[in-house]
Structure 1
Amino acid sequence: MISVSMPPAVTRESATNITSDDCGGCIRVGFAQILPGPSWAGCYNTAVGRLRVFLSRLGWAGRLFLLLAVLWLPVRLLAPGSVLRLLLETALVLAGLAAGLIWTHRVIRKAIWRLRNRLVVAYLFIAVVPLALVLALTAIGAYILIGQMALFLLRTELEHRSEALLDPAVGLAATPPQRLEERLRWLAPYFRERYPGLQFLVRHNRVYRDPDGAALDLPPNPAPAAAGILSHNGRHHLWAHAAQQGVQVDLVAPVTARLLESVAPGIGEITLADLLPGHGGAAPARIRAGNLPPPRHRFDLEVRWFTLVPVAGQETPATLSIATRPSAVLGLLFGGKMDFMQGFWGLLLVSLAILFLVFVLVALAIGISITRTITRAVHGLYEGTRRVMEGDFAHRIEVRGSDQLAELGSSFNRMTENLERLLRVEKEKERLQSEIEIAREVQNQLYPKQVPMLRRLELNATCNPARMVSGDYYDYLSLDGSKVALAIGDVAGKGISAALLMA
């Protein structure tokens, strides 16, 4: 007899309406289910078990990351500027990277478990990734080349403009001193048409300035013949210097937006700027000219590039940057020829891109087809082995083609066919063995169970068949109290047939 005590909170009438709690057990008595209240020990054990599973799945790197994160939070609040926080943050980042790599490896390993995914990933690394790298390298090289070509055009033209100022400076330096002022007044209007705001400074026995009162911040000890870019009063200038027979001539023309646009018309947005502030903390010289040209086609992307140009009298160079497009650079290089061939080259580029895309799609289709043949054969073998493990030896996989994979599938089918035949033979052998065992028991029942008791003779007999059953037989026949007849028989042959004939 089993007695069950009812909890105070649970009655027999309400016992059947109570659902089970994850943290508690239950006892079923008759038709009523009686549940105790929630077990806090069970809840604790369940939570601890789930936490252990979670930590085991995280791995050592994940557990280290959580530990460092727990230590970092109070240090961040209590000692925000300490060395300990820096060390913990460094360790936290390293542990996070390690955990990320481990989890990425796990995800990849799980994703490429199937042979099809593994072959796709292999195809990506063998074909797609190198092709993407080549295309990326080509695009980056074209981007850099267009930027370098544009800046080469700008720098070359700016150097030509500054060197063009050197010729009149050398001419003025070679002029006799008594004719300097006259020739200066004659040349100034002509060169100011090409270089607006041009200033002249001639130093001999006296100083000639044009316009009068022009103040120039010139580099000290220049070469006898020098030209370049000069930064003066927060602006950039083209500068040329010549010195002959004690006469020093300096020509300075401000670099204006109009001048920059005329250097390479329509090439794009040009910016010339100093890297550091000027003398006395003045703002760095900076000038911008031109606008980004509109794209002529879809592939006419924006290109931004820069270079460093030396500034006379300064240790730090200035930056010359440009925002342009390939069509603007190529059009400036080839001029009218580029305009004439623009449509042809664009059509050729689109045609080659379409042809390249068609080849890629055809190669992709062929690769997918070959991959499917491999994965189909392997998947068939995988399913076949599972069916064989379940005992279905009659399962055959589909064989397509005449390659090595098809031969492998045929070999599997022959193997399962042989296994099925061997299994049938074994079952037949077991059946025959069972029947022989029954025949042996029957034959043993035919032998005499009791031996006649004689006064002067003790009889004992046994039969040892060559096989489990045989055609041998013996028996006793008592004639009277002192005589016995022995019956011994033997059928030619062995096995069941002889035993049946003897029976």
Structure 2
Amino acid sequence: MQSRLISVRPWLEKNGLFPKGKLALVTCYMAGLDIAIYIVKTFAGRLRPSYASYLDGWVFFLTAIVVTLLLWLAKRWVSARLLWRVRSRLIVTYFFIGIIPVVLVAVLAGLAFWLLSGQFAAYILRTRIDSTLQALNASNAAVSAEIASDLDAGRDISSVKVKRDPGWTTIAWLNGAIVFSADSGANSNLPVFVSRDLTAVVEDGDRLFLRSVTSLPTKRGSLTVASSRPLDPRLLTELSNDLGEITLWKSDTESEHPTPLY
């Protein structure tokens, strides 16, 4: 029996389970006392149940104290097992203090740069679209002035020079009737969208256009000239040069997953 106790003690000491501190000894003493009272209560209950009822309170009280002390000792044992040495803890502390903040700052800076670069690219594209609109407006104003001058002088306006780029159209109406067109498929009636001067991006059907409309009074009546250029992938590619990939979406769609226009 003594040899078994001698072999058990080194195992308990190796695993940190052998009671060494005052708290551990008190816990062992309280646990032994609780077990002894429980055994006495059991034998007394066999002799007379009333005797056992006197010891129920003590058993409950001692068991509660022992469980509390064991939980506290278990916490200390787990903490001792899990905590590293002071040097290792300092290394981890320096890592979290010195390295992690740098990484977080780098990640946040990269995210901010990515967001700002997208906003800046959108601003540059909008500026280029506005510049193209102004150029379209200037060209349309020049064509309007030339057509008005020819009408006032009674000259033939079919020889008016206009841009002939792919998709670029210029149409003139006099008193609502078409008098000049660089688009053979143009409607002869005055559309609703040319009821006033404008220079903007408009939606016509299911397509987008850069459009400029100019109205001038002439001796023969009211002259309205409209020049349009499609806002298509070709123009977007031209405008978004060195800006990366550009995707155009409709802003007024009610779908949760809208399909991009281009």
Q: TM-score, normalised by structure 1?
A: 0.29
1:286 aligns with 2:258: no
Q: Is contact 2:150-2:157 (8 Å) kept?
A: no
Q: In the alignment, which of 198, 204, 211 is matched to residue 232 of structure 1? A: 204
Q: Match of 2:234?
A: 258
Q: Which ranges in structure 1 are unaligned for 5 or more consecutive residues?
A: 1-52, 58-106, 288-503
The alpha carbon displacement at 1:150 in A equals: 3.0
The alpha carbon displacement at 1:264 in A equals: 3.9
Q: In the alignment, which of 173, 176, 183 is matched to residue 203 of structure 1? A: 173
Secondary structure of 1:192's counterpart equals coil
Q: Match of 2:251?
A: 275
Q: Which ranges in structure 2 are unaligned for 5 or more consecutive residues?
A: 1-66, 72-77
Q: In the alignment, which of 223, 226, 248 is matched to residue 247 of structure 1? A: 223
CA displacement, residues 23-42 of structure 1 (integer Å, 9 cap, x when unaligned)? xxxxxxxxxxxxxxxxxxxx
Cα distance, 1:214–1:131 mapped onto 2, change above 3 Å: same
* Alpha-carbon distance in 1 for matches of 2:79, 2:230: 62
1:187 aligns with 2:157: no
Cα distance, 1:285–1:176 mapped onto 2, change above 3 Å: farther
1:2-401 matches, within 5 Å, as: 114-174=85-145, 175-176=148-149, 178=151, 182-183=156-157, 185-188=159-162, 191-193=163-165, 196-208=166-178, 210=181, 211-215=183-187, 219=193, 222=196, 224=197, 226-245=198-217, 246-265=222-241, 267-276=243-252, 286-287=261-262
Secondary structure of 1:268's counterpart equals coil
* Alpha-carbon distance in 2 for matches of 1:213, 1:109: 88
* Alpha-carbon distance in 1 for matches of 2:191, 2:93: 66
Cα distance, 1:115–1:135 mapped onto 2, change above 3 Å: same
Q: Is contact 2:215-2:224 (8 Å) kept?
A: yes
* Alpha-carbon distance in 1 for matches of 2:155, 2:226: 14
Q: Is contact 1:234-1:286 (8 Å) kept?
A: no
The alpha carbon displacement at 1:164 in A equals: 0.9
Q: Is contact 1:154-1:263 (8 Å) kept?
A: yes
Q: Is contact 2:151-2:157 (8 Å) kept?
A: no
Secondary structure of 1:227's counterpart equals strand
Q: Is contact 1:277-1:284 (8 Å) kept?
A: no
Q: Is contact 2:211-2:227 (8 Å) kept?
A: yes
Q: Is contact 2:240-2:246 (8 Å) kept?
A: no
Q: Is contact 2:136-2:227 (8 Å) kept?
A: yes
Cα distance, 1:177–1:284 mapped onto 2, change above 3 Å: farther
* Alpha-carbon distance in 1 for matches of 2:234, 2:195: 31
**Between Structure 1 and Structure 2, whose CA radius of gyration is higher?**
1
Letter in 2 for 1:127: G
* Alpha-carbon distance in 1 for matches of 2:134, 2:151: 26
The alpha carbon displacement at 1:135 in A equals: 0.9
* Alpha-carbon distance in 1 for matches of 2:95, 2:164: 64
The alpha carbon displacement at 1:167 in A equals: 1.0
Q: Is contact 2:140-2:227 (8 Å) kept?
A: yes
Q: Which has the higher contact order (CA 8 A, sep 6+)?
A: 2
C-alpha RMSD of matched pairs (Å): 3.9
The alpha carbon displacement at 1:151 in A equals: 2.8
The alpha carbon displacement at 1:117 in A equals: 4.7
Q: Is contact 1:150-1:267 (8 Å) kept?
A: yes
Q: Is contact 1:177-1:204 (8 Å) kept?
A: no
| Percent of matched pairs sharing the same residue | 25
Secondary structure of 2:136's counterpart equals helix
Q: Match of 2:62?
A: none
Q: Is contact 1:217-1:232 (8 Å) kept?
A: no
CA displacement, residues 56-80 of structure 1 (integer Å, 9 cap, x when unaligned)? x9xxxxxxxxxxxxxxxxxxxxxxx
The alpha carbon displacement at 1:217 in A equals: 6.7
* Alpha-carbon distance in 1 for matches of 2:193, 2:228: 12
* Alpha-carbon distance in 2 for matches of 1:166, 1:276: 26
* Alpha-carbon distance in 2 for matches of 1:170, 1:164: 10
Q: Match of 1:393?
A: none
* Alpha-carbon distance in 2 for matches of 1:231, 1:250: 15
Secondary structure of 2:249's counterpart equals strand
* Alpha-carbon distance in 2 for matches of 1:139, 1:186: 54
Cα distance, 1:149–1:242 mapped onto 2, change above 3 Å: same
The alpha carbon displacement at 1:267 in A equals: 4.2
Q: Is contact 1:192-1:198 (8 Å) kept?
A: yes
The alpha carbon displacement at 1:165 in A equals: 0.9
The alpha carbon displacement at 1:184 in A equals: 6.2
Secondary structure of 1:272's counterpart equals coil
Secondary structure of 2:214's counterpart equals strand
Q: TM-score, normalised by structure 2?
A: 0.52
* Alpha-carbon distance in 2 for matches of 1:155, 1:108: 61
Cα distance, 1:109–1:125 mapped onto 2, change above 3 Å: farther
Q: Is contact 2:173-2:225 (8 Å) kept?
A: yes
